[in-house]
Structure 1
Amino acid sequence: MRRQAVLPAVAAAATALLLSSCGASPTAAGNGGGDKSAEAARTASATYDRINGLTGKDRHDTLAGLAEKEGKLSIYTSNTDIDKLVAGFENAYNIDVSVYRANSETVLQRELQEQQAGFFGNDVIDTNAGELNVMNKEGLLSPYEGALRDAVRKEGQANGWTASRFNVFVVGWNTDRVKPGQEPRSFEDLADPKWKGQVSMEVGDVDWFAGMYEYYRGQGRSDAEIRDLFSRIAANSKVAKGHTTQGELLSAGQFAITVSSYSHTVDKAADKGAPVTWHPKSGKPVEPIVVRPNGVGLMKTAQHPAAAMLFMDWELTEGQKILADAFRVGSIPGARDPLVGLTVVATPEKELLDNPKKWDDLYAEIVQSGQEIK
């Protein structure tokens, strides 16, 4: 089965393409918009440094005053719940927000191209871990500090950016096709031939796969044993493209089980009446559960740095409630933490950034055993 290249390879290729055009980082002085970048960074840094040193009410009041004087905020994002967040933010503050939303790879490519040209179109970037790590590696993000960042799950306190939510990869199933007591209890269950043709994998879930692979390696399994397990799961699987499409097919009963659905995709469908869940009637969900941080970064060249910081503060407070209402798993654990008591594994972001082709190729080899959904 031919498989489309996934995020790490796309991100690496986009960066390499842009760097090769100039022989240096997009923000280097004398390189494209380098002089403009340096000046914009100095201006934004003065605000960032000032606010990072404040706490409590003093921080909020100072920041809100500066941000409302700026009056504007520009966000580039792949977050499908961004409209709800922006509406809440604009209701709270006298700031006009403009949003450019696309898939994460497109957002990254636009950002790199604009920075190379010396055009600073956004103040905040809100997207997936992989793209944020590329941007941080290229020196485009500025540190965000304070008590709110300190409260974020440790997996979300990344270099250069901070998680606002997590994509939580879970084993989900159609309750019409999988009756109570028949639910899978482990990933080994999904390799059983009895599930032939009833399982679904997602073509781009290389980050989930890398997290699972590293977890099993840490448990003492050999590379051969890990590859054998996932090859047997793939042999039982129909391979879908896109979690939304996969979720719709699961709800329709096109297959019985998904090995790496997003928890919010399953929960949203169940809330609308679809016969799907990732929680068995008794016992725990299938473990480990892999989490991938998605988050927010402050642009080093932000034209509205106070508004950018205020949005980050707000998304880590009031925004967490909006994300929870959208069935998202927020980055600051609350009273209804759906991950409490479960074995949680973070995607190995540094490994994916350093060795994207290795993981892309390995996962491609695994899913070749599956049946592609046309």
Structure 2
Amino acid sequence: MFKKVTLAAFALLFSVSCIGLNQVNAASEKLIQDAKKEGKVVLYHSLSRRVLKKLVKGFENKYGIKVKWTRKGTGGIIRMVTAEKMAGALKCDIVSTGDPTVFIRWQKEGLLKKYVTANTSSFHKGLANPEGWITPSRTTIGSMGYNTKNVKDSEAPKSWKDVLDPKWKGRLAIVDPRKSGPARWWMAGMVKRFGWEYFQELAKNKPLLLKATSTAALALINGEADVLVIANEHDLVRRKAKGQSVSPVYPKEGISKKTSPVAICANPPNPNAAKLWIDWESSAKVQALMTKDGGYPPTRTDVKSYHPRDPKLTAPENLLAFSQKNFIKNKRKMLKKFGKIMKGMKVRIYKKKKKKKKK
């Protein structure tokens, strides 16, 4: 009797599960068809250009939906959204930047649209936004880096304070927080830990000022700097694995870590294609691509990191923590102060190479 009841209960549970799965598949198929009718999706994104191109190509090949995309650094994306807001309406369907706190402001200003992706249950604990205002796109670790040809491992800086030594004068590069999301996150943590005196001392070593963390490693590879004071760790890890002469450094005082969101804009021109893109970017397939080709730590529990890290690196006690509430309140003042301290520093911009037109 017990066996018959158990089998019956199992059969019922299985049938209910199948009904639920069929409903999810039906909803997903309807979204795909509705998105195809719209025919395109418009992105404003700060993801690495090289990786973003692969995401776009994969989406277009899978769904046959055209992707119109603009890739800029965090500062550039924020300026675009601000300008369109002042003009009366956003032209994009999707927006993503490297500064998570700006989404809090955009939500309050009514610039975002809620959407809870079916991938939500697969995110690492604490990353999902239950209401769907944002979706975790990629995790970024802020570390130092150095040129392994010019700097011996034994001589590489081991502490954030090591680069304040006069011996590094003219040999450093730093990414401008006014332009870069990862750099401003790092700046907030450093100010909390060391105060503005740190940046005043750093300025004495005349660091080369870079405009983007996504291309910052080029300063090391090109020999324009021996040490990169703040870098996208994932880019250094990826490049090192390919045999390039760079290596990350994890300072003993801690590193910065953040998760960059992607979100749907309010009143998007292509709402269904926008939802489909969110599902795509947060899918296991894309997260696997991002960790393999971009070096990013995955946001999903079911995707293994292609470049494993020691879990202790990102333990709470090893992070440059700060109050996000205070950062949001004082962000403009902080960025302005950074600019004042670094005034007069040499600036370097790495522009994308233009393809030669075939004659």
TM-score scaled to structure 1, two decimals?
A: 0.69
**1:346–1:173 CA distance, 2 compared to 1 (3 A):** same
Residue segments in structure 2 that go unaligned for 5+ positions in a row: 1-21, 178-182, 349-359
AA partner of residue 206 (structure 1):
R
Shift of residue 259 of structure 1?
1.4
- Partner residue of 1:323? 290
User: What is the CA deviation profile of residues 199-241 of structure 1, one whole-angstrom value per residue up to 9, with x for unaligned ones?
Assistant: 3322333331112333x2xxxxxxxx53334433443341322
Shift of residue 113 of structure 1?
4.0
TM-score scaled to structure 2, two decimals?
A: 0.72
Q: Quick check: 1:93 aligned with 2:63?
A: yes
Q: Quick check: 1:258 aligned with 2:228?
A: yes
Name the SS of the counterpart of 1:361 in structure 2.
helix
Contact 1:124–1:299 under 8 Å retained in 2: yes
**1:107–1:197 CA distance, 2 compared to 1 (3 A):** closer
Which range moved further: 118-127 or 289-298? Answer: 118-127
Q: Quick check: 1:143 aligned with 2:111?
A: no
Task: Tell me the distance in 1 between the aligned counterparts of 2:241 and 2:275.
Answer: 34
Any residues of structure 2 matched to 1:181-192 within 5 Å, and which?
Answer: 181-192=154-165
Which range moved further: 131-140 or 147-156? Answer: 147-156
Shift of residue 366 of structure 1?
4.5
- Partner residue of 1:66? 34
Runs of 4+ in structure 1 deviating by more than 6 angstroms, as ranges, are none
**1:64–1:344 CA distance, 2 compared to 1 (3 A):** farther
Contact 2:186–2:320 under 8 Å retained in 1: no
**1:226–1:101 CA distance, 2 compared to 1 (3 A):** closer
Contact 1:173–1:257 under 8 Å retained in 2: yes
- Percent of aligned positions with the same letter in both sequences? 27
Name the Cα RMSD after superposition.
3.3
1:357 to 319, 326, 332: 332
Shift of residue 110 of structure 1?
3.5
Task: Tell me the distance in 2 between the aligned counterparts of 1:372 and 1:200.
Answer: 10
Shift of residue 254 of structure 1?
2.9
Task: Tell me the distance in 2 between the aligned counterparts of 1:355 and 1:55.
Answer: 47
Shift of residue 269 of structure 1?
4.0
- Partner residue of 1:289? 255
| Bigger radius of gyration | 2
Shift of residue 260 of structure 1?
0.4
Shift of residue 85 of structure 1?
0.6
**1:288–1:56 CA distance, 2 compared to 1 (3 A):** farther
Contact 1:127–1:295 under 8 Å retained in 2: yes
Name the SS of the counterpart of 1:261 in structure 2.
strand
- Number of residue pairs matched? 307
AA partner of residue 173 (structure 2):
S
Contact 2:160–2:251 under 8 Å retained in 1: no
Task: Tell me the distance in 2 between the aligned counterparts of 1:112 and 1:187.
Answer: 34
Residue segments in structure 1 that go unaligned for 5+ positions in a row: 1-53, 217-224
Structure with the larger RCO, 1 or 2 (CA within 8 Å, 6+ apart): 1
**1:166–1:117 CA distance, 2 compared to 1 (3 A):** same
Contact 1:163–1:295 under 8 Å retained in 2: yes
**1:193–1:112 CA distance, 2 compared to 1 (3 A):** closer
